[in-house]
Amino acid sequence: MQPAITAWVEEVALPGQRIASTRTLTGGFSNDNTVLTMVGGDRYVLRRYLGDNKCALEAALARQLTGRVPVAEVIGADRDGDKAGEPVLLSRFVPGVPVNELDEAALTEIGDEVGGTLARIGAVEFETPGFFDGDRLAGAGHLVPDGAELTEGLDGWVDRCLTEGNATGHLTDAEQRALRAWAREAAPELGVLKGSRRLVHSDYNPKNLLAARSADGRWQVAAVLDWEFAFSSTPLVDIGNMLRFPRSPAFTDAFLGGFREAGGDLPQNWRRLSQALDLFALADFLTRPVGHRYFGKAVDRIRVMLSH
C-alpha cells in the first residue's frame, strides 16, 4: 500500500493500531479491496476506488442500513482522499463464502434468506426516485436522490445502445428489430412503476452476497456487498438482476417466497416488468467492447429473452 494510505489507517481510522499483513481480495472489477490484518488479529477491508469515486455513497448507505440489512460496518472513510491521498473506505471484515460458490443444496437452503434480505432493502424508502450523489446528504448523512425517473424511456435507451454500440455482427438485423419491438411494447407497461422510490442495490446477485452458517447450522446472508450502483426506484430491478441468468427452480421458488414473506410486493406481471427493467442493463452491455466480460453474456441473454 501507499505510505499515505498506511498512515491514514494507522493514525486516523484506527489510531494506535498497526498493520501486520495485507491480502488482496478477488472479485472486484471496478474497485480494489484489500484485507488488512492488524497486530492483535483484527481484520478490516480497505476499499480503493479505481473508477468513479463512490466512497461517500457507500459509506452513507452502510451507515443508513446498519441494523436493517446485513452490511459491513464502516470504520472510517476518506471520501476525497485528503488524508490518504485517494478516496478510501475502511470496513470491518465479514467472514463468509460468496453465495455464487455454494453448491445447489446450500443455494436452495439460503434462497429464502436472499429473498428476505432483498425485501428489507426494498423497504427503505426515499422522498423521490433517482440516482444518489455522495455530495447530497440530508440529516444524519442520509442520501438524497436526484429525482430522475428511472422506469421511463426503455425504447429510446435500447435504440441508442443498438445504434451506438457493438451489437452489429453479434445480433442479426432481425434480432435487433425484434429487440426494438420488444422494448417499444414493454416501455408503456413500466408506467405502473413510475414514482417508485425504494432502495435498489442494482447489482443484487450471488457474487455480491456473503453467506455464513448461523448458530443452528443454517446458511444465512452475512453481508450484502458493493453498493456503488445503488439508486432509488423499484425492487423489481433487483428481481430482474437476480433472475437474469437461469437459476434452479428450487432456488427461484425459495427466493421469491422469501421476498414475499418478508413483505416484498410482486405484481401479477412481475416477471415481464422485471425483464423489461433488466433490459436497461443488458442493452448497456452492448455498448461495451466486444471482449468485455459481460458483452457476450448480454447477447446470449437477449437471444433467450426474444425466443420466449
pLDDT in tens, the chain (308 residues): 899 999 999 999 999 999 999 999 875 567 899 999 999 999 999 999 988 899 999 999 999 999 999 999 999 999 999 999 999 999 999 999 999 999 999 999 999 999 999 999 999 999 999 999 766 655 555 788 999 999 999 999 999 999 999 999 999 999 999 999 999 999 999 999 999 999 999 999 999 999 999 999 999 999 999 999 999 999 999 999 999 988 999 999 999 999 999 999 999 999 999 999 999 999 999 999 999 989 999 999 999 999 88
Q: What values do phi and psi take at 307, rounded to 5?
A: -70, -20
Three-state secondary structure of the chain: CCHHHHHHHHHHHCCCCCEEEEEECCCCCCEEEEEEEECCCCEEEEEEECCCCCHHHHHHHHHHHCCCCCCCCEEEEECCCCCCCCCEEEEECCCCEEHHHCCHHHHHHHHHHHHHHHHHHHCCECCCCEEEEEEEECHHHCEEECCCCCCCCHHHHHHHHHHHCCCECCECHHHHHHHHHHHHHHHHHHHHHCCCCEEECCCCCHHHEEEEECCCCCEEEEEECCCCCCEEECCHHHHHHHCCCCCCHHHHHHHHHHHHHCCCCCCCCHHHHHHHHHHHHHHHHCCCCCCCCCHHHHHHHHHHHHHC
Strands of 130-137's sheet, edge to edge? 143-145, 130-137, 231-233, 198-200
Return the pLDDT at 49: 92
**What pLDDT shows up at residue 137?**
58
Residue 277 CB neighbour total at 10 angstroms: 25
What number of other Cβ atoms are within 10 A of residue 256's Cβ?
21
Looking at domain 3-92, which CATH architecture does it have?
Answer: 2-Layer Sandwich (3.30)
Amino acid letter for position 42: D
Q: What is the 3-state secondary structure (H, E, C) of 227-265?
A: CCCCEEECCHHHHHHHCCCCCCHHHHHHHHHHHHHCCCC
User: What was the pLDDT predicted at 70?
Assistant: 97
Q: What confidence score (pLDDT) does residue 28 get?
A: 58
Contact residues for 110 (Cβ-Cβ < 8 A; gap 6+): 99, 102, 211, 219, 220, 221, 254
Report pLDDT for 29. Answer: 63
- What contacts 282, CB < 8 A, 6 or more positions away? 244, 298, 301, 302, 305
Look up the pTM and report it: 0.93
- The domains of the chain are located at 3-92, 97-307
Identical fold for domains 3-92 and 97-307, yes or no, is no
Give Cβ neighbours of residue 151 (< 8 Å, ≥ 6 apart).
129, 190, 191, 193, 194, 196, 233, 234, 277
What class is the 97-307 domain?
alpha beta
**Cell 435487433 maps to which residue?**
176
pLDDT of amino acid 30: 74
308, 225 Cβ separation under 8 angstroms = no
